[in-house]
Amino acid sequence: MAKDALIVVDVQNDFCPGGALGVEAGHEIVPIINRLMVRFDHVIITQDWHPAGHSSFASSHPGKAPFESIMMPYGEQTLWPEHCIQGSVGADFHHDLDWTKAELVIRKGFRPHVDSYSAFFENDHKTPTGLAGYLRERKITNVTFAGLATDYCVAYSALDAVEHGFAADVLLDACRGIDLGGSLAAMITKMRKAGVTLI
Ligand code: VGL
Ligand code: ZN
């Protein structure tokens, strides 16, 4: 157990119903995650943290609408409604999330020109967040993911965890997805094939 960490992904107001990029029933996972956090020795949480005018916002690209995609120097990027702007209420953790126990809050998506779904790498898949080094130095070998959204930040984080050599579990009951054009089923298949344990 001391080698296990729970990673709580982006349980922020903007990803909950009523938020800028509300995930259906996103708030339902909050009590589940609160119970989970007590059972883990180590808890890490991530926070989507964009500057105003971030390049992942459709509003930063004239003529583009949310959920369309564009080519960025690092590859295809889905465009989103403006969300999780640094310091805004939307970027705050859900008010019922009891994150007292979190040892580390890792912020991502703060570089204006690159988005970051994964807790390990930005979307260029080259710029590290530092999380892998943190886990290795703490001798944590197993990571369990819960949070929002299953098919974006949770899936990308779990895939990168496996790539880094960590054992990765995703607790599907403690996640909710965006499901854009079949992305939920596609990412679940991808995670399973990569060796992520889906629970
Ligand atoms: C996320 C889209 C944009 C997520 C973050 O947390 O899954 N999705 N930014
Ligand atoms: Zn974002």
In a domain? residue 121: yes
In a domain, 129, yes or no: yes
Using DSSP, state whether 45 is helix, strand or coil. Answer: strand
Q: Residue for token digits 């990308």? A: 156
The confidence score (pLDDT) of residue 1 equals 55
Asked if residue 104 lies in contact with residue 135, where contact means CB atoms within 8 angstroms, the answer is: no
Structure tokens at 83: 């969300």
User: Residue 5 Cα, ligand 1 centroid: separation in angstroms?
Assistant: 21
Enclosing domain of residue 161: 4-47+90-198
Number of domains composing the chain: 1
Residue having the nearest C-alpha atom to atom 6 of ligand 1: 153
- State in Å: Cα 140 to ligand 2 middle: 27
Q: Give a yes or no: residue 131 inside a domain.
A: yes
CATH code, domain carrying 102: 3.40.50.850
Which residues does residue 71 pair with via DSSP β-bridges, in sequence order? 76
Annotated catalytic residue 108: yes
How many other C-beta atoms lie within 10 A of the C-beta of residue 186? Answer: 14
With a threshold of 0.90, tell me whether the complex ipTM lies above it.
yes
Q: Using CA of residue 88, residue 91, residue 96, residue 99, what is the dihedral sign?
A: negative
pLDDT in tens, 92-135: 999 999 999 999 999 999 999 999 999 999 999 999 999 999 99
Structure-token match 């995930």, residue found: 23
Whether residue 122 is contained in a domain is answered as yes
Ligand 1: nearest atom to the Cα of 56: 3
Does residue 177 sit within a domain? yes
Give the whole-angstrom CA distance, residue 194 versus residue 15.
26
Q: Within a domain: residue 161?
A: yes
In a domain, 73, yes or no: no
The pLDDT of residue 91 is 98
Q: Residue 163 domain-assigned?
A: yes
Instruction: List, for the chain, all residue ranges whose pLDDT scores fall below the cut of 70.
Output: 1
Q: Which of 108, 148, 157, 176 to mutate to test the pocket of ligand 1 (most atoms within 8 A of CB)?
A: 148
Strand runs (DSSP E) across the chain, as ranges? Answer: 4-9, 42-48, 69-72, 75-78, 104-108, 142-148, 167-176, 197-198
Q: Are 119 and 131 in contact (CB under 8 A)?
A: yes
For the whole model, what pTM was predicted? 0.95
Report the C-alpha gap between 92 and 115 in whole angstroms.
19
Q: Which residues approach ligand 1 with their CB closer than 6 A?
A: 10, 15, 48, 80, 117, 148-149, 152-153
